[in-house]
Amino acid sequence: MAAATSALCAGTVSAQDKAHDWAQFYRYAEANAEMTASPFAVMMGDSITDFWVGYDPDFFKDNDLAGRGISGQTTSEMLVRFRQDVIALKPKVVVILAGVNDIAENNGPISVDNILGNIRSMVELAKAHRIKPVVCSVLPTGGFSWRPDIKPAPIIVELNRRIVEMANVEKIPFVDYYSALADENGALREGLSFDGCHPNIKGYRIMEPILLSTLQKL
């Protein structure tokens, strides 16, 4: 599996190559090439997914999940690497948790329409390759330490509303983490995060059964 990827990543990726690898194809190229069997599900995302593997690796191992999150990534970057990090692995399911870094404008301003368009494109790619897509709510956050000028809470509410609408139209599962994690101000509830944006292990332990309840139905 992923023979083409294996050939491309046969040599060591230099620091200069990495600096020009906008979508960070290098990040999982070796892990993808070494896989000998398709996972049940690929978890496509940003730092929320990336950190999750570190906090609770047994959750991924026990449920046959391949973590493919990259810290800081926007939906545009995820869409670009979707073919390598999802389609080539031939999972039965892809779980897409994305959008918060778009709201933080990590790659510059982007409209909710275009964020949703990128997520929809990942959904369409998955369907075209007979992979069942699952979309997730963006997690609540009251602000970003690296972009204190942005007030994300109302934008997250609007994006989540649009993701639900899309899931209904596409007839695909929607995983609602937001309702279980948000306080009355649209931030992560106290005690569930180390920085107000990323869950700690308590937060992930709330998310895990919510996700599994959907995956078990598939």
Q: What's the pTM?
A: 0.91
Q: Check pLDDT > 50 for residue 148.
A: yes
CA nearest neighbour of 41 among 122, 132, 104: 132
Q: Mean per-residue pLDDT for 10-23?
A: 63
8 lies in a domain?
Answer: no
Query: What is the number of structural domains in the chain?
Result: 1
Q: Check pLDDT > 70 for residue 55.
A: yes
- DSSP assignment of 6-19 equals HHHTSSPPPHHHHH
109 lies in a domain?
Answer: yes
CATH number at residue 157: 3.40.50.1110
Q: Check pLDDT > 60 for residue 10.
A: no
Q: Check pLDDT > 80 for residue 4.
A: no
110 lies in a domain?
Answer: yes
1 lies in a domain?
Answer: no
Boundaries of domain holding 146: 38-215
9 lies in a domain?
Answer: no
* pLDDT tens per residue across span 179-211: 999 999 999 999 999 999 999 999 999 999 999
What's residue 20's pLDDT? Answer: 84
In contact, 180 and 207? CB cutoff 8 Å = yes
CA nearest neighbour of 69 among 61, 60, 78: 78
* pLDDT tens per residue across span 92-116: 999 999 999 999 999 999 999 999 9
Q: Check pLDDT > 70 for residue 71.
A: yes
17 lies in a domain?
Answer: no
93 lies in a domain?
Answer: yes
141 lies in a domain?
Answer: yes
